[in-house]
Amino acid sequence: MGLKSWLPVAASSPFSLANIPFGIISSPGSPVRRPATVLGTHVLDLKVFAERAGFAGLDEIQPHLDVFSATTLNAFAVLGRPIHSKVRAYLQDVLAENTAHPSILRDNDSLRAEAVLPAEAVTMHLPMEIGDYTDFFAGIHHAATVGSLFRGPQNALQPNYKHLPVGYHGRASSVVVSGTPVRRPWGQILLDPAAEHNLPTFAPCRRLDFELELGSFICGANPLGQPVPVDEAEQSIFGYVLMNDWSARDLQTWEYVPLGPFNAKNFATTISPWVVLPDALEPFAVAGIENDVTPLPYLRESRERNQYDIRLRVDLHTAGRAAGSGPTTTTITETSGKNLIWSFPQMVAHHTVAGCPMRPGDLLGSGTISGTDDWSRGSLLEQNGGGKRKIKLAGGEERVFLCDGDTIIISGVCGTEEDGLVGFGECSGQIVEAVKMPC
Amino acid sequence: MGLKSWLPVAASSPFSLANIPFGIISSPGSPVRRPATVLGTHVLDLKVFAERAGFAGLDEIQPHLDVFSATTLNAFAVLGRPIHSKVRAYLQDVLAENTAHPSILRDNDSLRAEAVLPAEAVTMHLPMEIGDYTDFFAGIHHAATVGSLFRGPQNALQPNYKHLPVGYHGRASSVVVSGTPVRRPWGQILLDPAAEHNLPTFAPCRRLDFELELGSFICGANPLGQPVPVDEAEQSIFGYVLMNDWSARDLQTWEYVPLGPFNAKNFATTISPWVVLPDALEPFAVAGIENDVTPLPYLRESRERNQYDIRLRVDLHTAGRAAGSGPTTTTITETSGKNLIWSFPQMVAHHTVAGCPMRPGDLLGSGTISGTDDWSRGSLLEQNGGGKRKIKLAGGEERVFLCDGDTIIISGVCGTEEDGLVGFGECSGQIVEAVKMPC
């Protein structure tokens, strides 16, 4: 039986007392961005809480209370994991029914009135100021399926794939928080790649796709030229979010050689707003996909359970554009966060091994997470076999790729209702029509 | 005959009165980072200058004087090109022999003593806080030569090359200012790619290279989903720097498929410290390399002279490691900045066409600039034919790739000594030995 709070928390909430994630809120009465945590359907405004002596029972945070007045979580992240753990544990206690500090909040009517807000009344913002964003490719089932579509089954996985966490630098400026509309991108498209002397067309993307990923925010910093050893890399990880790495497949096919994806990815990447700490996910650590190649020593982790068994789900919500049909919602993907061949600490170790500096607020993406079953594929490209099959939705609708008005909603949760769910809430984005262009 | 200053300026200085670039300095007496300009061997501290009413003769800057108290040039860049032009022209006047404002500085002993410093007494810093860094590939002679080495002459230029400015997202956190030592990176290397079942080795890079590039800092901002038209893109460009995109060729060959270069590039990128404004380079605008493919309308510029004829030079300075030989310096490359097939405004138009937001402080690299002659190649890889030839240096030394202790010094200059040179100063970095690793 999980810890019980004096606040009402539905058993089905991903934000049980076992979670205590961190995010950035604003509210109509207080438009300044500020840190908060969430429990059930309430958020705790940590700026007000800190200013009104809410942290009086936690000595270690006293020299650092100004981090709760910041407009991002970067300053809090910089404090490091031992402090994050203490803050989370303290908030769990303060919010628990049998709290050791009842006078702090439970029995403090005036602070409760000021600091505890209905979650529906606040606006969520990007939790971190993101310096650099790197997207990896650690979902081997995705890499194999998509590699086969792009380069044929003989070259599905490149020779390096099992030796190193393949990744590329993404675009930090287009990372947006859940709920931000995603505009259909324009770009160059080769309509018939088989035709000789074929010229690219300039048009709105016709093969707009999502990619189901986990994201990880960095809290550690290494100087230029100084690698982070793999067994220390976990201390560099502040927490996790869900991520949708929106992809324009037709732009990607034409542009990606030889330097990798560019405009096919940099028009938007959506993340969920609450950063879930490693401490909260630790009970759900499991072994990931076994690598049948022994990695080089700098990538060998002592830790065996280096992935998280997060139940990931993708829902496609239509705007009801088919004649006569209203909006419908269809679950199109169910898989687990454990379907990765490389762990985030391995990604950090590889990313820094040549000397690249990490900074607090940097974001790493896992790569698309897919299982091996038809219903566990983390992108439409995999589900439609490279654009060849229609995917059936509720209400008789069908999709090959995303239509204007469609909303992709990613959710992810660990654990049981009995012990208290640990989840991320939603990572959602609706496709809006392409801009008008004179062309 | 160029404008003459009341400060002594050698005819050979790249920082004539025709230039007036902007940078960020600190000094032993005043360690706070602050904006400055440079003329000959003197810098003008713009923080002191602004605080002591130096800008009294320029109404337009009065509401924005705080930009000169910032620790980067981002706030100044945000003001936009019309203001940059006015500030540059005003500083040219204030520093001119026959200034219209003699009392501001020329005849103001106390302000001169405080604000005019010997350039050798200040430390230069990164001029901008870089949000995102993107590296293009617009040097067609480089792309063809290196493409041929990596993929054979049949596939030297990919089919998309002449249709769009190919580029990839680079790593902002490892962009460093000239003078920062560059540590030899470790990484995975496939020693004999031809051998079957060959396994990668983990070792310090053996094929360490430089890449001669121009960099461009962005001052404009476009919202997510809103492209920048090509003929407006020039207004998004704050100014230019020299760039060395250090490259670990052995890491690159193994890692770059299918998502592009990663650790082979992200260990360091060096830029020159002074940002030269487009206004200063405008007299040297010329047509670039002709594209025999007509680009799509969104990439067609009205402007024909869309490149700059900057005389670029690369010197290799050795530490004198060969027995008996002292340090030597050899000019290994001479070429022109005009050797590009895509202009920076075309890069901005392409980068934003799918909706990617640009932010002030973003950095774009041109890609390696090479001519077609042997001595005009902007990387060692091109000069040594893929590692097959030795390059002869002064003093009897030879190089295939860079040795520890070697310094690469890039310089670039436009115009004549008579009219006043417009240049960048140096973009230099010395290779230091790899870190010790337990492996």
Give tens-digit pLDDT for A278-307.
999 999 999 999 999 999 999 999 999 999
- B162 and B85 fall within a common domain: no
Structural domain range at position A236? 133-432
DSSP A34: E
Q: Pick the last residue of a domain from A125, A157, A174.
A: A125
Nearest C-alpha of chain B: how many angstroms from A40?
A: 32
CATH number at residue A56: 2.30.30.230
A226, A248, A438 ranked by CB distance to B435: nearest: A226
Q: Give which of B313, B334, B316, B314 is closest to B376, Cα–Cα.
A: B334
- A222 and A371 fall within a common domain: yes
Answer yes or no: do B131 and A163 touch at CB < 8 A: no
Q: In this structure, is residue B439 part of a structural domain?
A: no
Mean pLDDT of chain A: 96
pLDDT-derived band at B324, boundaries 50, 70, 90: low
> What does the pLDDT read at residue A437?
86
Q: In this structure, is residue B425 part of a structural domain?
A: yes
Nearest C-alpha of chain A: how many angstroms from B165?
A: 9
pLDDT above 90 (res A321): no
For A217-275, the pLDDT digits (tens) are 999 999 999 999 999 999 999 999 999 999 999 999 999 988 999 999 999 999 999 99
- B49 and B196 fall within a common domain: no
- B264 and B370 fall within a common domain: yes
- B307 and B418 fall within a common domain: yes
Q: What is the mean pLDDT of residues B148-168?
A: 93
pLDDT above 90 (res A150): no
Cα A331 from Cα A410, distance rounded (Å)? 10
- B277 and B356 fall within a common domain: yes
Cα B128 from Cα B77, distance rounded (Å)? 9
Disruptive mutation site among B263, B342, B358, B439 for chain A (greatest number of A CBs within 10 Å): B263
Q: In this structure, is residue B217 part of a structural domain?
A: yes
Cβ count near A417 (within 10 Å):
13
Yes or no: say if B385 and B310 are a contact pair by the CB < 8 Å rule: no
Cα B369 from Cα B427, distance rounded (Å)? 15
No. of H helices and E strands in chain A? 9, 25
Cα B432 from Cα B181, distance rounded (Å)? 6
Size of interface A-B (CB pairs under 8 A): 210
Cβ count near B50 (within 10 Å):
22
Q: In this structure, is residue A3 part of a structural domain?
A: no
Cα A32 from Cα A53, distance rounded (Å)? 20
- B170 and B118 fall within a common domain: no
Please report the sign of the dihedral spanned by the C-alpha atoms of residue B141, residue B143, residue B148, residue B150.
positive
Answer yes or no: do B168 and A251 touch at CB < 8 A: no
pLDDT above 90 (res B437): no
> What does the pLDDT read at residue B87?
98
Using the structure block, give the residue that is written with the tokens 């680079």. Answer: B170
pLDDT above 90 (res B2): no
pLDDT-derived band at B439, boundaries 50, 70, 90: low
- A343 and A232 fall within a common domain: yes
A254, A260, A297 ranked by CB distance to B260: nearest: A260
Q: Which residue of B has its CA nearest to A170?
A: B169
pLDDT-derived band at A182, boundaries 50, 70, 90: very high
DSSP B255: H
Q: Pick the last residue of a domain from B87, B104, B125.
A: B125
Yes or no: say if B216 and B353 are a contact pair by the CB < 8 Å rule: no
pLDDT above 60 (res A439): no
> What does the pLDDT read at residue A61?
98
pLDDT-derived band at B1, boundaries 50, 70, 90: low
Q: What is the mean pLDDT of residues B197-219?
A: 96
Q: What is the mean pLDDT of residues A135-145?
A: 97
Amino acid letter, residue B438 = P
- Residue B229's Cβ-count burial label (10 Å; 0-12, 13-18, 19+) is middle
Nearest C-alpha of chain B: how many angstroms from A198?
A: 10
Q: What is the mean pLDDT of residues B211-237?
A: 98
Give the lowest-confidence range in A341-345, A347-351, B149-153: B149-153
pLDDT above 90 (res B316): yes
Q: How remote is the C-alpha of B318 from its chain's centroid?
A: 22
DSSP A257: T
For B191-201, the pLDDT digits (tens) are 887 777 789 99
- A189 and A265 fall within a common domain: yes
Residues of chain A contacting residue B186, judged by C-beta atoms under 8 Å apart: 227, 298, 353-355
Residues of chain A contacting residue B183, judged by C-beta atoms under 8 Å apart: 224-225, 355
A383: tokens are: 């589900």
Q: In this structure, is residue B111 part of a structural domain?
A: yes
Q: What is the mean pLDDT of residues A105-121?
A: 98
- A314 and A392 fall within a common domain: yes
Q: What is the mean pLDDT of residues B254-260?
A: 92
pLDDT above 60 (res A323): no
Answer yes or no: do A254 and B160 touch at CB < 8 A: yes
Q: Which residue of B has its CA nearest to A226?
A: B435
- DSSP H helices in A392-436: none
CATH number at residue A347: 3.90.850.10
Q: In this structure, is residue A173 part of a structural domain?
A: yes
Q: In this structure, is residue A343 part of a structural domain?
A: yes
For B100-132, the pLDDT digits (tens) are 999 999 999 999 999 999 999 999 999 999 999
Using the structure block, give the residue that is written with the tokens 């544990």. Answer: A89
Q: Supply the residues of A annotated as catalytic.
A: 142
Q: In this structure, is residue A17 part of a structural domain?
A: no
Yes or no: say if A92 and A41 are a contact pair by the CB < 8 Å rule: no
pLDDT-derived band at A423, boundaries 50, 70, 90: very high
pLDDT above 80 (res A163): yes
> What does the pLDDT read at residue A1?
59
Residues of chain A contacting residue B205, judged by C-beta atoms under 8 Å apart: 354
> What does the pLDDT read at residue B137?
97
Nearest C-alpha of chain B: how many angstroms from A117?
A: 30
For A10-37, the pLDDT digits (tens) are 999 999 999 999 999 999 999 999 999 9
Q: Pick the last residue of a domain from A92, A125, A158.
A: A125
Q: What is the mean pLDDT of residues B189-218?
A: 92
Q: How many domains does chain B have?
A: 2
- A72 and A40 fall within a common domain: yes
Q: Is B208 helix (H, G, I), strand (E, B) or coil?
A: strand
> What does the pLDDT read at residue A197?
73
- Residue A315's Cβ-count burial label (10 Å; 0-12, 13-18, 19+) is middle
- B339 and B199 fall within a common domain: yes
Q: Which residue of B has its CA nearest to A293?
A: B199
Percentage with pLDDT > 70 across chain A:
98
> What does the pLDDT read at residue A193?
75
Answer yes or no: do A174 and B358 touch at CB < 8 A: no
Q: Is A193 helix (H, G, I), strand (E, B) or coil?
A: coil
